[in-house]
């Protein structure tokens, strides 16, 4: 089962209460992954909100939702995602990282940050698939993140879903910095639209060198990502898909006019997720 690796945009914690187009898409995506490739035996998740000085595998036997945010609707604190962990998978991943000469730590700790559990609640709401969080190093380059993902490629043949969670654009200053917060359905700003279009075009061409250097080559890159931790999981998921095939945008939407909520699939089987009838609209958006 050569399951594609996936990147989803979670935007803000409020997606857990107000799914919007991206949340509705993720609800469909989980079912489509299972119907096309079979139920994943485990999920390795790389979230923008779990970072470290070197890669860290959180190898607890049980996880819970971590409420790593403040100032949002208190109802979020009542939501749970108590997925099992996978210590055995942590050992397997550690071996892969060793083979790739990548440093890492393994900790017997649990907890899923909001970038992980908000997405997983939509993708696999039963919380019955073991999850292994992998904290990444935010100071490393997109090319280095891609290399981390390349080391994880064998997992896809073993029924493991490699999932990156972040945001395709993420400038919170544009959300909170004005006199009033943009409305959820605000018209997309030009800078966001042009950046997202550049990403989908370079992805379709599998122009990895341009993508690795997106901060100097993509339009409005620094505006859309003042810091790039929310885009870096995209590169980990892309690396797990491999260099030979283009990245496939599965979903395209925007929250509050400036937070891109796109999702991508990577690997030779990524286009299989575009064949289902309920993905026709997403495919047409490409």
pLDDT above 90: percentage of residues in the chain? 82
Tally of domains within the chain: 1
CATH of the domain at 117: 3.40.830.10
Beta pairing partners, 254: 260
Question: What is this structure's pTM?
Answer: 0.94
Binned at pLDDT 50, 70 and 90, residue 73 comes out as confident
Range of the domain at 192: 5-285
Count of Cβ atoms closer than 10 Å to residue 150 Cβ = 18
Residues in the chain, total = 286
Kindly tell me if the per-residue pLDDT of 158 is higher than 90.
yes
Residue with tokens 């698939």: 129
Binned at pLDDT 50, 70 and 90, residue 245 comes out as confident
Strands 5-9 and 160-166, sheet pairing: parallel
Average pLDDT, the chain: 92
30-39, 138-147, 174-183, 216-225: least confidently modelled range: 174-183
**Cα separations in angstroms, 147 against 35, 101, 241, 256:** 30, 11, 11, 33
Tell how far CA 100 is from the center of its chain. 22
50-54, 140-144, 190-194, 243-247: least confidently modelled range: 243-247
Exposure string over 235-244, b if 16+ CB within 10 A, otherwise e: bbbbbbbbee
25-29, 63-67, 119-123, 172-176: least confidently modelled range: 172-176
Q: End-to-end distance of the chain based on CA atoms, in angstroms?
A: 26
């Amino acid at each position: 089962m050569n399951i594609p690796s996936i990147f989803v945009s979670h935007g803000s914690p409020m997606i857990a209460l107000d799914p919007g187009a991206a949340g509705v898409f993720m609800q469909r995506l989980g079912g489509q992954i299972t119907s096309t490739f079979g139920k994943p035996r485990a999920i390795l998740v790389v979230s923008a909100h779990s970072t470290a000085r070197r890669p860290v595998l959180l190898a607890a036997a049980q996880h819970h939702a971590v409420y790593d945010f403040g100032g949002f609707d208190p109802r979020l604190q009542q939501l749970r995602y108590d997925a099992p962990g996978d210590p055995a998978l942590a050992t397997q991943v550690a071996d892969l990282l060793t083979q790739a000469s990548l440093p890492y730590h393994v900790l017997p700790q649990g907890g899923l940050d909001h970038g992980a559990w908000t997405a997983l609640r939509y993708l696999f709401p039963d919380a019955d698939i073991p999850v292994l969080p992998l904290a990444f190093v935010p100071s490393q380059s997109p090319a280095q993140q891609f290399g981390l993902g390349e080391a994880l490629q064998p997992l896809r043949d073993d029924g493991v879903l490699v999932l990156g969670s972040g945001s395709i654009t993420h400038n919170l200053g544009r959300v909170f910095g004005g006199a009033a917060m943009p409305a959820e359905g605000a018209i997309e700003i030009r800078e966001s639209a042009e950046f997202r279009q550049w990403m989908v075009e370079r992805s379709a061409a599998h122009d990895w060198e341009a993508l690795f250097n997106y901060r100097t080559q993509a339009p409005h890159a620094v505006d859309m990502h003042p810091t790039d931790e929310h885009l870096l999981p995209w590169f980990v998921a892309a690396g797990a898909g491999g260099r030979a095939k283009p990245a496939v945008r599965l979903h395209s939407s925007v929250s509050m006019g400036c937070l891109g909520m796109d999702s991508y699939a990577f690997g030779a089987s990524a286009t299989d997720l575009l064949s289902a009838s309920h993905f026709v609209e997403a495919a047409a958006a490409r």
